[in-house]
Structure 1
Amino acid sequence: MKELPNLTEVLISTLTKLINQFVDFVPRFIFATFILLIGYLVAKGLAVVTNKVLERIGFDKIGDKLNEVSIVKQLQTEVKLSQIVSKVLYYFIMLGFITDATRTLGVGAITGLVEKLVNFVPQLIVAAIMLQIGVLVSEAIKNAVVSICKSFNVPSAKLIGTIVFSFFLVITIISALGQAGINTELLESSFNLLIGGIILAFAVGYGFASKDILANILSSFYNKNRYEEGQIIQIDEVKGQIVSLDSTSITLQTGDTKTVFPLQTLQSKKVEIFKN
């Protein structure tokens, strides 16, 4: 029959191991704390210097452009890139020192987690830069579309510009998420189906609603070299001098009054041109 272990010896052995582990842990804890303190001072100092340098070289002007974007205005927040960059730099440096501190402590689980965060930060920075550039490009495309639509007197120019802006913004967000390491296959598939349905419905509905305007715009290309302001013409029974000619209509001075015809009238009606 085996003898039972001496309870006193077991307690003493366990207590001795705990004391030895504690004695071994305390210096490592102190050294890890010292590393964190040095890391905080270095990160804070570099962040402050970076913030001041970026402010002086005018880096915040890019942020000012972002603040003018409609979606940023709606968020009622101010983007100051010098502060954002300095804070990212601060946390990136701190994560590096935290990694060294956890290695000193010898806690493998914490060290692995911190290392994953450190490796994730560069991807996050690239994704943020992509998102910033995407917002600026989307806003520029939106303004260009609105200007073109207004020049052709296309109704709902702002609505079309907003749709175009949203389209490119979503593409930018999906690309940024992919850069950050997030699986976006399902999101991309859903977005493609949604956009395809919206474009088809919009094209059909807007085509029927704007067919007269499009006909006038096409007529302006066909007739831009035939007619000019100052000419005297007659459309059916209406005779007058051309006083205005734009992309959708033509205006005749007929005595004391003015008569406005849609440009497609020049294609469908009999038009006589008189010499001045």
Structure 2
Amino acid sequence: MEVLDQLRSDTLNTVNTLFFKIGEGLISFIYALLVLVIGWAISKGVIFILRKALTVSNIDKIGDKVNESDLFGKTDFKINISEVIIGFVRWILILVFMIIAADVMQWTIISVEISNLLRYLPRLFSAIALFMIGVYIANFVRKAIHGLFTSLNMSGAKIISSMVFYGIAILVTITALNQAGVDTTIITNNITIILGAFLLTFALAFGLGSKDVITNLLFTFYARKNYAVGEKIKVNGNEGEIIAIDNISLTLKTATGKVIIPILQVIENTVEVKE
């Protein structure tokens, strides 16, 4: 009889413990679900406010500059900085509330792993931001070099400016990868050779391009030494009064209007000076 009583007591204790654990787990599940619902509502509000703030700040102009650089070639891939920031904030909030929910459910392993991912996200975001800012600066430098070479009438403006752009873009990419925690040892070990080859190519291209500039400057010096504004000349059948001499051309005022003659034609052809 005592054995039966003991068996009955043990069975009741086991059932009570089982139902207690089920009830405790159900309550934890309800709390965790409540945390996720509250987190979802808070995330919606934060994203709404953030989207409005980013729209007012016009931060997408930086993304437009990156897209204009055609870094990814002629593709449909476009960078939208607002959506990138919103995406990061959204996932950070989701992960934060997932950690809280996992702690409520006492899922320690899941909570720890999500926490590790959450700690890595700011590092990844800073790497992407560094990359975008670097490409923006590289594009600005490319346009400045292209404009300088064009204003000096130097050949190879597009090639040289593109080389400088991609050189800066490569350095920025390596830096961004390091910031993101990617091992770039192989690349950095050979970066000196890459930069040396790049600078040598740039020097050769600049030297070849500057040859035309020096030639034009000498031609201009010759033209200004032998001819003056106000003189009447005849060159290549065009007769008139010199009204301007610049680095690349000579302007005549003829009976029919203005005629712009390249300096090279003035140098290479016979010029008749009228008294």
Partner of 2:215: 216
Distance 1:54 1:261, change over 3 A: closer
Partner of 1:197: 197
Give 1:22 deviation, angstroms: 5.7
Q: How many residues align?
A: 245
Is the contact between residue 216 and residue 248 of structure 1 (CA under 8 Å) also seen in structure 2? no
Structure 2 residue matching 1:155: 3-state secondary structure: coil
What does the per-residue CA deviation read over 1:175-231, in whole Å, with 9 as the maximum and x for residues that have no partner?
A: 222222333333223333223123324534664x44642532664797798576556
Partner of 1:89: 89
Give 1:98 deviation, angstroms: 1.3
Partner of 1:146: 146
AA in 1 matched with 2:132: Q
Alpha-carbon distance between aligned partners in 2 of 1:211 and 1:56, rounded to the nearest angstrom: 46
Partner of 2:69: 69
Structure 1 residue matching 2:154: 3-state secondary structure: coil
Unaligned residue ranges in structure 2 (runs of 5+): 1-10, 234-239, 254-258, 268-272
Is the contact between residue 134 and residue 169 of structure 2 (CA under 8 Å) also seen in structure 1? yes
AA in 1 matched with 2:147: S
Partner of 1:132: 132
Alpha-carbon distance between aligned partners in 2 of 1:62 and 1:228, rounded to the nearest angstrom: 49
Give 1:138 deviation, angstroms: 1.0
Partner of 2:6: none
Partner of 2:184: 184
1:158 aligns with 2:158: yes
Is the contact between residue 249 and residue 260 of structure 2 (CA under 8 Å) also seen in structure 1? no
Is the contact between residue 231 and residue 241 of structure 2 (CA under 8 Å) also seen in structure 1? yes
Partner of 1:170: 170
Distance 1:230 1:164, change over 3 A: farther
Give 1:260 deviation, angstroms: 5.8
Give 1:148 deviation, angstroms: 0.7
Distance 1:70 1:143, change over 3 A: same
Structure 2 residue matching 1:74: 3-state secondary structure: coil
Distance 1:47 1:241, change over 3 A: same
Alpha-carbon distance between aligned partners in 1 of 2:172 and 2:231, rounded to the nearest angstrom: 51
Give 1:90 deviation, angstroms: 1.1
Percent identical: 25
Distance 1:193 1:73, change over 3 A: closer
Partner of 1:108: 108
Structure 2 residue matching 1:70: 3-state secondary structure: coil
Structure 1 residue matching 2:182: 3-state secondary structure: coil
Give 1:161 deviation, angstroms: 1.3
Give 1:145 deviation, angstroms: 0.4
The normalised TM-score by structure 1 is: 0.69
AA in 2 matched with 1:170: I
Alpha carbon RMSD of aligned pairs, Å? 4.1
Alpha-carbon distance between aligned partners in 2 of 1:128 and 1:191, rounded to the nearest angstrom: 21
